[in-house]
Each structure stands twice: as C-alpha cells, then as structure tokens.
Structure 1
C-alpha cells in the first residue's frame, strides 16, 4: 500500500551496490535487503539481527501501533490573530474524482483520517500525477500554514551529518513506514486539518504531509527516539537514517541497539526501503563509503553535460549546481566570479570568454570524480 507522498526521490538514502532480498515476513514476498559485498560470516551476523527484529517491519498501516501521543504528537500553534478559513470546494474532472475516492478509501482503511461534520477550517484536495502515472493526493493547507508561526526547532547541519556518517566500513540505511503518519495529531487540532471532497469532509488523525511544521516535529521525534545513538552510531536528517560502524561486530551491536529504540517507541520500518550491511550509499545527496565522501555522480555529470548558458535562467541553474558541489570545488567563488557577476547585471545577457573559461575549469575538475577522504583513510 503506497501512502508515501514524497515527490523528490533523488535525495533518498540508498545503497550504491547490488542488494539481495531476505525473507522477514510470513510470505516469500515479504522481504528486506542485505548488501552483496558481505562475507558469509558477515552476512549471517547481520541477517540474524534483522530476523530477530522482524516484528519491527510494517507491511500495512494496520501493522503500525503509532508513536505514543504522551511521548510526542503534532500540535498546531495558530496565531491568535488568525481567522479560520473554509475553502470553497473546487471542481474536479471525473478522473480526479475517482482517484480522490480511491485515496480517501485507503486513508480511511488505514485509520489515518475520520469523517467530520462541522468544521471552521477546510482545505481542498489537490491531485498530482506521479511519474508512474498514478495519482498522489495532497491537501492545500495554504491558509492553515499561514496562520501557524514557524517552529524554529533546529535541523541538523548537513555537512556535519555527512562527515559523521562517512569513513565507516559498514552502513545500513533505514526508512520508516509512512513515517509522518506514525505521529498522532493532538486531539484538539485534528479538526483543523479538515479537507473537502465530493461526498464528505474529513480530518487527519495522524500528522499529514504538507503541514508547515511537520518536518520539525519529525526531527524532534528522531532526536528523542535516538538520543543515545545520534553522533555515535547513526546520523538522522528528518526521515533519512543511516547506521555507521567500523566493523561487523560493532554494526550488529549498533543495529540491535537501534532496533531496541524503535521497539521502545513503537516505530515501524518499511522493509522494502531498508538495506543492511552495505559498503557505501547515497545520503543527503552525497555518496558515502569507507574512503570518505564522494560527490553524487549525477550532480557532476549534470554539469559536464551542460552546454554554455545562453540565458540568465540557465546561468542560475549552473550556479545552483556548482553551489551544491561547493565542498568538492576549492576556490569556487573565485573561479566562478565571471559567471556569478552575470546574476547581478541588469543589462543585456552576454556570455563572455571569461565565463567560458570558468565553466571549462569546473568541467575539467569534475571529469575525475572528487573524493573527500576521511581522517582514518588520510
């Protein structure tokens, strides 16, 4: 059952090697994955830990007990000056109506939503076509989000997380099953998440995506759940989790410890998106391995394939791509100065020889994949 509405999968944690399935459920199709570069002894050590904790994998929303609301739930903090707004129902074509009915049925079966008869807040449903042609149901919380002050809970520094997770021999990448939906809405705020459909109004019993401060609440949950593991044996950025260890014995212990934390707080994993015991993988847009940190090859290949910009918009795209690789490009600002100056000019666009020289320097550097070696390797 696909209830994961994340659109951008490019930055998801994933291994950079082949993976092999292991059965962890009653059916032969209920599997999770191990890395393929393990020795038989290493493979058996990790497999045993995973099998011993197979009850922590969810195959259906009914397998999720949910986070104890007394431990953490999502509460809306609405400005006192804000007025509730009930949006008028927007018209939808027959195909969208049918898709909405199907998605609402899934959410009702999962007990993620309930029907609502009276509400002062009301939002419309927005249907988005996924790359595979299926529909994704989103909720337009524009007005509700405007009424909520930003939760300033700090997100971790990405560079620190990547540095902390790199340079380890063994990695495991974990993914929570419909993670946000494992967090309950505060009972007083459920009705504020109301949305309208062709036949009825509903509100969320669990924290939905698209709420302004949902990411901050989820990071808070991760920090509380894994307070003894973060910066020691794992790194977490919102719903991206990586377990890192120097040897196989430590990795088995670290995984056992993390499974215990998951069980203690009633969190469940998505077995299809977890992989255990790999030697490298993608985390927050970077490639991690025992050697250190490597630039995501997709990112530097995008620059190598770029033609010289002919419009300001293309220059902006180039600048963004270069910035995302700044850790791997010493003297970035100095070399890119002719290009960056184009972003400040108001007169007619002109790609100069100096600009061309800059982009060619970057392409030459990126033609050999750069690596930031960990201190242990160095």
Structure 2
C-alpha cells in the first residue's frame, strides 16, 4: 500500500478506493475480503493505464474540482488548454473519525483546504478557480463565522481563489472522477432551503435566532443582537428579514421560511392587515424581499417546533454570545426598515 500512496497523484479517489484494504490491514486478524479484492483489481486497472498528467503552463489559471463521500474527500486539479481539460494532480484523503461527522459542505470545504496544503506551490503560483455548485464561498466569507471555518478561511485568504459553478466536464478522466464521487440527489429536493427564525425582546435587550438548512448537509446558525429597542413583533420581523438576507447571501433560490409568530406570518401572507405604520413598513420590506426568490413560502409553526431558533434569539437578546462557538454572532445597529 506504500506504493499506492506514492502513486496517489496519478490515481483518482485513491483513498476512497483503497479503504477496504486499509481497513483489513488495521484489524488484528488480517482477512482478505471480496471488497479488498475488488479494490485491488480497481487499483491495478487504474495503474495499468493511468491518466496522463500535465505540467501546467504559467499564466493560465488552474481549475479545481472537489468531491466528498462518507469516509473520504478527493479533488482533481486541471488546466484548460486548447479546448481540452488536462489533469495536473489528483488528491485524496481518508477522513478521521471526527471528520466523518461533518456535513457535506464542510467536507468539501475541507477538501479545498487539504488540497491547498498538499499543492501549495500550485496555489502560490497560479490563480485557482474552484468549480462547485455548493455555496462554499458564501459560507467561508461570513465575517463572524466561528470554529474551524474561521481557520480555513484565514488559511485560504493568501491565495488567489475564485469560485464558479461546476459547468460542463470535457475530460474523460474528469467525468469518471465526478460520476463516481458525486452522490445522487433527489431532484424533488434539489435546491430547496429551509429557514427557521424567531425574535426575542425582554428587559435585557432584543435579538433574533436564525437557522438556515439546505442541500448537501448545509447548516448555518446565526444569533443576531439588536443595538436598538424593539418590540416583540418588531423582533419577529427583524428575525425574518435577517434570515432572508442570509439566504440571499448564500445564493438561495427556493426558500421555505418558518416562524412561530402568527402576526408576522399572517401579515406577510395577506391574512391579516398591518394597521400599525411601523409593522406595515416591515410587511412591505418582507414582501419585497420574498419576491426576489424564485420560490418563497412562509409557514407558521408552533413554538415547540421552533425551539432551536428560539434559543438562539434568547441568546442574542441577553448578549451572552461567548458560549456558542459554532454559531455566527452579529450585531444589528438599526432596524431593517430604516
């Protein structure tokens, strides 16, 4: 297996392919299984006709494709020249125990960071175009994102990296890589995002809790503290507007929002009139923002089904933000309608 590791740059998804063999070697009693035999044959076949890797030409950007499975991450670096996509390097890594529990978007972000470590000379000397349909750029770009994403964002900031949609794949080696590593997606759920919001106002202050969930395991939590006085209804509207803004920043097209405020959901959906002038402005702003999505639905849910957003809202209103290290914490200086 040492030779496989040494030749991994020539083998697409080498870590994923060799997992059964590595698993057999780690066990106390060595057992050669059918999965091991199949993996071994696959490696031999690949090495008997490896893809021809290209020395990149200076001045032409490199394109990076990323992928993740349950137990491994992989990437392929290519350069487009004369209308052809030419492979430059393959990178693959087996995930550690903690990493296997990452969401898919976190795993793909880890694939980007891992590739930047291993191929640092390429990242330092070439512009890198990351081809992905996941909102990695938006997630890494949040200013107050906490935890590992902060460290990754800082590490990647020294490189010239841009993000584009995956687009059409021309090279056969690339097509094989992406077909084998891309999980099937239910077309009925493709692109659908879900937003849960809640506002909180008390003697200690006011704030909002926001949870945004999307395809491929995307999961973002936000705790937003208001630097101004807000009524309960105003806080509920601010929570909804902030959540919709976050969704737009991530690039969401189809959004289903949930709130436990009957007044807000009723006014935005046209079931209730907004007689209060201030709330009327909020309703107009919410309706205008909703129209910017390809599809938008606002649902009322019982408070017991919105407990996490409620907790984040209370966390923001009390300003005790140091206890939540996996949440985006921000301040809102003025009402959204001003």
TM-score (norm 1): 0.22
Higher helix proportion (structure 1 or 2): 2
Structure with higher strand content: 2
Asked which structure has the greater RCO (Cα within 8 Å, sep 6+), the reply is 1
TM-score by length of 2: 0.24
